[in-house]
Amino acid sequence: MTELAWEPTADYVERANVTRLMRAHGIGSIAELRRRAAEDIEWYWDAAVRDLGLEFAIPYERVLDTSKGIPWATWFTGGRVNLVHNCVDRWADRDETRERVALIGESETGESRSLTFGELRSEVDRVAAGLTEAGIGIGDAVAVFMPMVPEAVIAAYAIAKLGAVYLPIFSGFAPSAVAARLNDAKVKLVFTADGTWRRGSQGLMKDCADEAAAEAPSVERLVVLSNLGVEVPMTAGRDVWWHDFVAPYEGARVECADTAAEDVFMVAYTSGTTGRPKGAVHVHGGFLVKIASECAYQTDIHPGEVFFWFTDMGWIMGPLSMVGSHANGAAMVMYEGAPDHPDPSRLWASVERHRVTMLGVSPTLIRALKPNGDEWPGRHDLSSLRILGSTGEPWNPEPYRWLQRVAGGGRVPIINLSGGTEVGACFLSPFPVEPIKVCSLGGASLGMDVDVFDADGNSVRREVGELVCKQPWPGMTRGIWGDPDRYIETYWSTYEGVWRHGDWARVDEDGQWFLLGRSDDTINVAGKRLGPAEVESVLVGHPAVTEAAVVGVPDETKGEAVWCFVVAPGGDGDGSKPNLAGELSQLVASELGRPFKPSRVVVVDALPKTRSAKILRRAVRAVAVGEDPGDMSSAENPQALDAIRAALSA
């Protein structure tokens, strides 16, 4: 890919937060800043703290300590810092920022409400006072299993303010998945709701919370938000309505706990787990500094602006949105519901309504919206947008170009991030002050010493290899909750002293980075490695195809064969385009080479996705090879797997 999608204008360069940082240190280019930030990570992270004005109650004595080994590095030694002070209280304490909007909640019902920083602190303090009365203190685990409503953020901050451990749980999980997380962290109290809105229907959550709590002996209390206003069963002595929980504490003031930089803020579980879930451990100092810097320098959010990432608080982009916006004095938008209900303009209407500055999406979400046409975004004033963010999976060129054209009018860069729950949050990202190629991730996120390794641990360029990080960073998980051996085995056992992330990456001749899917998703065809995203990109380039999932299945001759599953409203197997499978197979062969010609192309009505719109490729592969797809509780449409089975047997 050589086409430039973005060339920075003088206005973007002059206004960018990262420009301010570079000028303060006499650095002339983003390439030079990347180099210095990777070569001297302690300099960079200290510079970021100072540039962003992050406040430590007691200053740190040392930026980085690796005395226990690189995998167990700690940051900001001796420093005392509470994340909530930096995200809420310091803005509420100041006359000039107290009345600034901090949080905007919108439901697909059309209801919208907002809280200023002053109001947000008041609500956080009321919940924190209730938690204190309930016996919650430093180190206690408290789960938030709630819809995308302001109370989910209020609860998160109240937990962290007390020094307790915040446990975000995806609002669409099934009871068994919720219970596994409650048990893993020995959660004492759960915040939940009666239910949530989804595509015009009420989805109950309290029954799921009840079933999960029944399997989690550590849970002592459920605090239930009346979000839908429906009757739900309440267990006497255990359950309490949110409004009753906070009622005694009107006007309460709760001081932030005296937390150390390395005290645990959050345990966030990675998606798609089977068996015992994998909890990434994040701390007050490291998560605050890493996320504040990413949102300031990469998504270029400024005080008073509006940050909207279409996500769920149970995934890492939820806490990123919360901390990244508020640490930088900006407002966070939370949307409860589907992005295309009651019509495909819903997402764009929200951008116009709230004058969103930074809109974050997944590639799959855009691939789903694109077939509806340009008219839907065209109905709305999107001139407030200055940054488009994306993450979650590799892009295909056409949806990428479509997003930039229809949402940004070609005048807005796409800041394509990649990292993960355990990274907290990014390894790679472009910056709005540099040229960006179509689908590119730019280069290293600041302070991240990333590289691409071959199987022998050699650094490679212009070929596919493993994405690695050679030095620690503040947002790095402090292990896997309760399982240090699993942490070392998962991330540090392939290359000594180097983090292997499990993504295939490639750096092109111009130094721009591209991701090609998970390394454990990679297809090995007769000894030739193929990233499924490469094939998917070719498939969705066909005018009849809107979405695709590509997997490798065992093959006696080749080792693995390429199977493709496509959604094609323009030729969906009803006879309107009977040769589509053959066309697509030939297209892949001509674009990628005959060795990669798919052995099978299957047209289906839908592909299974998470509620955050990521295609569940591993589940598709499991069905293709006749295996159990495992935990599908995070899927929006698990029934899509039944349709795939039927299509395969037809």
Q: Which of 160-169, 399-408, 535-544, 546-555 has the highest mean pLDDT?
A: 160-169
Q: Are the C-beta atoms of 285 and 323 separated by less than 8 Å?
A: no
In a 3-state reduction of DSSP, which class is residue 47?
helix
Q: What is the full DSSP assignment across 145-171?
A: ---SSHHHHHHHHHHHHTTPEEEE--T
pLDDT digits (tens, 9 = 90+) for 256-294: 999 999 999 999 998 533 346 789 999 999 999 999 999
Work out the pLDDT band at 575, boundaries 50, 70, 90: very low
Read off the pLDDT of each residue in 619-647 and give the average, rounded to a whole number.
90
pLDDT value, residue 198: 87
| 48-62, 226-240, 267-281, 606-620: least confident range | 267-281
Percent of the chain with pLDDT over 70: 97
pLDDT value, residue 476: 98
Read off the pLDDT of each residue in 185-214 and give the average, rounded to a whole number.
95
| Residue 25 scores a pLDDT above 80 | yes
Read off the pLDDT of each residue in 563-582 and give the average, rounded to a whole number.
76
Q: Where are the domains of the chain?
A: 522-649
Read off the pLDDT of each residue in 38-60 and give the average, rounded to a whole number.
98
- Comparing CA positions, the residue from 446, 421, 419 lying closest to residue 431 is 446
Residue 35: partners with Cβ closer than 8 Å, 6 or more residues away: none
- Comparing CA positions, the residue from 98, 127, 64 lying closest to residue 262 is 64
| Residue 542 scores a pLDDT above 70 | yes
In a 3-state reduction of DSSP, which class is residue 627?
coil
Q: Per the structure block, which two tokens stand in for 584?
A: 């697509």
Which alpha helices (DSSP H) does 216-316 contain, by range? 242-246, 284-297
| Residue 90 scores a pLDDT above 80 | yes
pLDDT digits (tens, 9 = 90+) for 503-534: 999 999 999 999 987 777 778 786 676 778 88
User: For 331, which DSSP code?
Assistant: E
Read off the pLDDT of each residue in 387-399 and give the average, rounded to a whole number.
91
Work out the pLDDT band at 384, boundaries 50, 70, 90: very high
Q: Does domain 522-649 have CATH number 3.30.300.30?
A: yes
Percent of the chain with pLDDT over 90: 81
| Residue 576 scores a pLDDT above 60 | no
pLDDT value, residue 132: 98
Residue 125: partners with Cβ closer than 8 Å, 6 or more residues away: 158, 161, 249, 252, 253, 254
pLDDT digits (tens, 9 = 90+) for 327-348: 999 999 999 998 998 999 999 9
Planar angle of CA 113, 118, 120, nearest 5 degrees? 50
pLDDT value, residue 577: 61
